[in-house]
Structure 1
Amino acid sequence: MINKLQLNRKHVFIDWSLVEAGNGNSWSGTTDPWFMPNGIELRTFSPTVHPEPILLPEKPWEAYLISSWATVFEDEGIFKLYYEGYHAPDVVTGKDVQKYVSQVCYAESEDGVNWVRPELGIVNFKGESDTNIVFSGIQSSGIGPHGATVIKDPNGSVETRYKMIFGSVNEEKRTRHLRGATSPEGLHWTAIPDPLIYHACDTQSVLAWDEDEGFYRIYTRGYRNQSELIEGRHVWPERRTIDHSRSKDFF
């Protein structure tokens, strides 16, 4: 059992599968006392919920709202947060044009509670260069990146160490995609030209590298039947699904 564990990683003990009974045998799901560890108890602890939000809309590019679709992880002693900020577009024409535009923003923290928006100078917003925006999507998208997830890829090259997936809408062709982007340090992003998946994504999708199987895995919200275009608007079916895709190279 120990050989299957990566000792430099955290493991969640939700059952006895990672605990040896003490007689050289690993737990196999049985309740036989011979295979059950003695003197060990599994307990769950409630997290501490802070009463105040860690981020509030303070900048013009997030003035409409900060979405709950976000990614946070620790990276070399710094907590990194990627979140979606929404603002109103300059011009709204037509009844079916998205009324608010999103972009991926970045914040960092030493303790996970107090967050700083660094002035990165990567993406301008209406002439202002000192923003914490790191990615604004692609030109063919009508709403900006949607439901983005970011990972630091232990399998990636130096140039593509950080990877992002995000939903995208082509308003002209009225198509929905799941797209990808890569970055060497998690700040300067390059969008992959072609969609990863032709899939209607209307929430945050999940990306992970599966070290054991050697695949990138993506989990998305799906529908038993694709949406229909009725009188110029998308009508969604009632039955939702959890869909899974995998890739050897992410691209």
Structure 2
Amino acid sequence: MFVPPLKPTFRLLAVFLCVLTCFASKARQQPVSLADRRELFVDGHLIDSLNGASLRMHAPVDEGEVLPFDLPWEGAFSAYVTILQDGDTFKAYYRGVPTAGKDGNSAEVTCYAESTDGIHWQKPHLGIHEVGGDTNNNVILANEAPITHNFSPFIDTNPAAKPDERYKALGGTQKSGLVAFTSPDGIHWKRLQKEPVFRQGVFDSQNVSFWSESENRYVCYFRSWTGKGYQGFRSVSRTTSGDFIHWTEPEPMGFGNTPYEHLYTQQTSPYFRAPHIYLAIGARFMPNRKVVSDEEAKKLGVNPKYYNDCSDAILMSSRGGTRYYRQFMESFIRPGIGLQNWVSRSNYPALNLVQTGPAEMSLYVNQDYAQPSAHLLRYSMRLDGLASLSAGYAGGEMLTRPLTFTGNRLELNFATSAAGEVRIELLDASGNKLPGYSLEECRPLIGNEISKVVYWNNNADVSELSGKEIRMRVLLSDADLFSFRFYASAD
């Protein structure tokens, strides 16, 4: 049979379809490598499809005031808190300044508090710096303006880090650039070098840095603007370094298709149970969105310049590079009851989540800014509990993208109702059932557990699938799945 040659238009279409097929085939050959990492549901990175299920953000629980800013050198404008957990000791760092002034003014100091449980805090008398004629204070940096405006430290987990530089920090404004400090203990600090290590930013809020285990480099997220100078929206840019001294050209962070909002702080840091996922629990600022009247402000004792705006906390995440996943546009922490929570620059989250119980983690938020009652508030959540894969009573399911893992067990962090359940099915890359790991063979998971191993009949061993390309199908009914992890067990 004679087949006429294709017309040019159809030939182009055929070539396009061929190329498209090749790209699709190539994509199928590159599964997501999980290794033994824990995965959260703060983004849709692993999800291929959802049917009757959705990602749900969870609200932290208000646990009340834990740290008043009540010393003479602290006061109403204390801010930019960093919380670190070093072994059995929790450490808090924050700006102290009792009266409003220009960013980086000489009255600003960096204060320190510590705790054995993350709940009850003390302010030690360090005797390092003289403030107000006395060294009997909790100040770790003084007379270092403008570094003390937004000094933000981290514990350096770089295997090559020197013991006497185990703690590192950046601080400064646009005028000074970001200046690097180091410390062996987090209390006694010195400059890494006289000159700033990075100048290409605005820096007029808390600028955060850390050693990235997954990217094998130092990363800094800092304040920038979407427009030139101070025009447009307060936003975020990023730079990286191999030695904490020489930094790359800055790159603006992208937010996908979500709209721009003013992000006063972003507080990006590796999640301590899944450090390849960076959580960003930042402050969303709503300029000129006034809630408190002039008369109400007087009753509260709010500084006159600080009640024309309002703010709350938002949740984002990143897996490195220049992209944030903003899965949820809704507020992560809404301002509390009472007008004192609706003044400018209140509700600003501190940097870092820390574990404060076997099943609990805590985050901290500045409250009552520019008021005599300024303090730090603690919120609690279950471990990994920022967001979940969730389904109601009618049930729902998720199918993952193709993935590989290492290990011999699958562990879930989940919660169900008395009537609910979670079941897991492991499939091959094409979506076909794998004998021994089918839905019908999976024991239903019922209860509320931080760590529960999945069984198919009497078997929990998934080692025969380790390194192979699979998909995971999750079925839920009246349940939440907060995280999962393939890992190696000696049992």
TM-score (norm 1): 0.71
Matched position secondary structure for 1:154: coil
Matched position secondary structure for 1:159: helix
RMSD: 3.1
Matched position secondary structure for 2:91: strand
Q: Does 1:74 align with 2:77?
A: no
Q: Give, in whole Å, the separation in 1 of the partners of 2:208 and 2:150.
A: 9
Q: Give, in whole Å, the separation in 1 of the partners of 2:68 and 2:43.
A: 38
Larger relative contact order, structure 1 or 2 (CA cutoff 8 Å, min sep 6): 2
Match of 1:111 in 2: 117
Q: Give, in whole Å, the separation in 2 of the partners of 1:32 and 1:45.
A: 19
Matched position secondary structure for 1:50: strand
Q: Does 1:14 align with 2:14?
A: no
Q: Is the 8 A contact 1:101 1:144 kept in 2?
A: no
What letter is aligned with 2:120? N
Q: Deviation string for 1:225-244 (max 9, x for gaps)?
A: 554xxxxxxxx323433111
Q: Give, in whole Å, the separation in 1 of the partners of 2:68 and 2:198.
A: 33
**Offset of residue 63 of structure 1:** 3.4
Match of 1:55 in 2: 67
Matched position secondary structure for 2:73: helix
2:142 to 126, 136, 140: 136
Q: Deviation string for 1:98-124 (max 9, x for gaps)?
A: 767211111011222221001111121
Q: Does 1:127 align with 2:133?
A: yes
Q: Is the 8 A contact 1:223 1:240 kept in 2?
A: yes
Match of 1:215 in 2: 217
Match of 1:24 in 2: none
Matched position secondary structure for 1:177: coil
Match of 1:196 in 2: 197
1:249 to 230, 243, 248: 243
Q: Is the 8 A contact 1:103 1:145 kept in 2?
A: yes
Structure 2 unmatched runs, 5+:
1-32, 246-491
Q: Give, in whole Å, the separation in 2 of the partners of 1:208 and 1:189.
A: 17
Q: Give, in whole Å, the separation in 2 of the partners of 1:85 and 1:45.
A: 32
Q: Give, in whole Å, the separation in 1 of the partners of 2:217 and 2:181.
A: 17
Structure 1 unmatched runs, 5+:
18-27, 34-40, 170-174, 228-235
Q: How many residues are matched?
A: 208
Q: Is the 8 A contact 2:104 2:173 kept in 1?
A: no
Q: Give, in whole Å, the separation in 2 of the partners of 1:114 and 1:88.
A: 27
What letter is aligned with 1:14? V
**Offset of residue 16 of structure 1:** 8.0
Q: Give, in whole Å, the separation in 1 of the partners of 2:76 and 2:236.
A: 29
CA 1:99–1:167 in 2, change beyond 3 Å: closer, same or farther?
Answer: closer
Q: Does 1:65 align with 2:77?
A: yes
Match of 2:152 in 1: 149
Q: Is the 8 A contact 2:104 2:147 kept in 1?
A: no
Q: Is the 8 A contact 1:136 1:144 kept in 2?
A: no
Match of 1:46 in 2: 59
CA 1:58–1:189 in 2, change beyond 3 Å: closer, same or farther?
Answer: same
Q: Deviation string for 1:75-104 (max 9, x for gaps)?
A: 111211111111459xx9xxx797672111
Q: Deviation string for 1:117-156 (max 9, x for gaps)?
A: 0111112112211211111253xx4x45222221100112
What letter is aligned with 1:191? R
Q: Is the 8 A contact 1:56 1:66 kept in 2?
A: no
Identical positions, percent: 28
**Offset of residue 213 of structure 1:** 1.8
Match of 2:171 in 1: 166
**Offset of residue 31 of structure 1:** 2.6
